[in-house]
Structure 1
Amino acid sequence: MPDLKGRRRRAAPAEPAERGSVTAEFALALPAVVLVLLLVLGLGVHGAARVSVEEGARTAARELARGTSADTASRLAREAAGQDSSVQLSHEGEYAVVTLRRPVQILGLLELTVDHEAEAHVRIEQLPGAP
């Protein structure tokens, strides 16, 4: 700030009691920032796993509708959703039902696991003359 004669004043040196306060504040804020980053990464993993489970169920249902075997549909569902997923195939009348479950670990440090489940229904069409 200029004084009356147009010269700039120098800032007063920090008092000894205030020295290092920025470092202390940073040290207090750093764990919170790291925790927020881990939470955002965990939610990203959660979302990506959810999408892969739904894609696996749709893939198996689509293959069943095309007439492929149940073993092939299960294998393709596991390839899309992950090998640790479980696939259950059933029939409800003229519809095939694919249920896919996969455990997902959200935060690696806390080992919080969530089971994702997706279900897909598809109508099985019989071609004329097919058994």
Structure 2
Amino acid sequence: MLLLVLSLGLHGAAQVTLESGARAAARELARGEDPASAEAAARRITGEEVSFQLSHDQGYVTVELVRPVRVLGWVEVAMTQDAQATARVEDLP
């Protein structure tokens, strides 16, 4: 039972960092930074095993991050965590 509670806590914390990484990447892109810089910001927060996807639509940018779920940080299961963030791209002079 203790392992289940620990695993759920780690899963929740990992989801929060994934969402923070998506927001950071979207902010970078909204300020006019290049996609490589945004991806680096996301990976700095979430770790290297995350996949990064970017889309533009009518003045908005959307970042989606996906990574595998690991039980207690070790055993990968057939599930993924994902997070998405959208930001309006600033008009630069």
- The structure-2 alpha-carbon separation of the partners of 1:91 and 1:109, relative to structure 1 and needing over 3 Å to count, comes to closer
- Which blocks of at least 5 consecutive residues in structure 1 are unaligned? 1-35
When normalised by structure 1's length, the TM-score is 0.65
Could you say which residue in structure 2 is the equivalent of 1:66? 31
After superposition, give the CA deviation of every residue in 1:41-77 in whole Å (9 maximum; x if it has no partner).
1001100110011000000001111111110000110
Pick 1 or 2: higher relative contact order, CA cutoff 8 A, min separation 6: 2
Larger % of strand: which? 2
Secondary structure at the residue paired with 2:92?
coil
After superposition, give the CA deviation of every residue in 1:93-129 in whole Å (9 maximum; x if it has no partner).
110010000112125687535311111110002123x
- Which blocks of at least 5 consecutive residues in structure 2 are unaligned? none
Question: How far apart in 2 are the matches of 1:48 and 1:113?
Answer: 19
Q: Percent identity?
A: 52
Q: What CA RMSD, in Å, does the superposition of the two structures yield over aligned residues?
A: 1.7
Secondary structure at the residue paired with 1:125?
coil
Q: Is the 8 A contact 2:39 2:52 kept in 1?
A: yes
1:108-123 aligned at under 5 Å gives the runs 111-123=76-88
Q: Is residue 2:11 matched to residue 1:46?
A: yes
When normalised by structure 2's length, the TM-score is 0.90
Q: Is residue 2:81 matched to residue 1:100?
A: no
Give the greater-gyration-radius structure (CA).
1
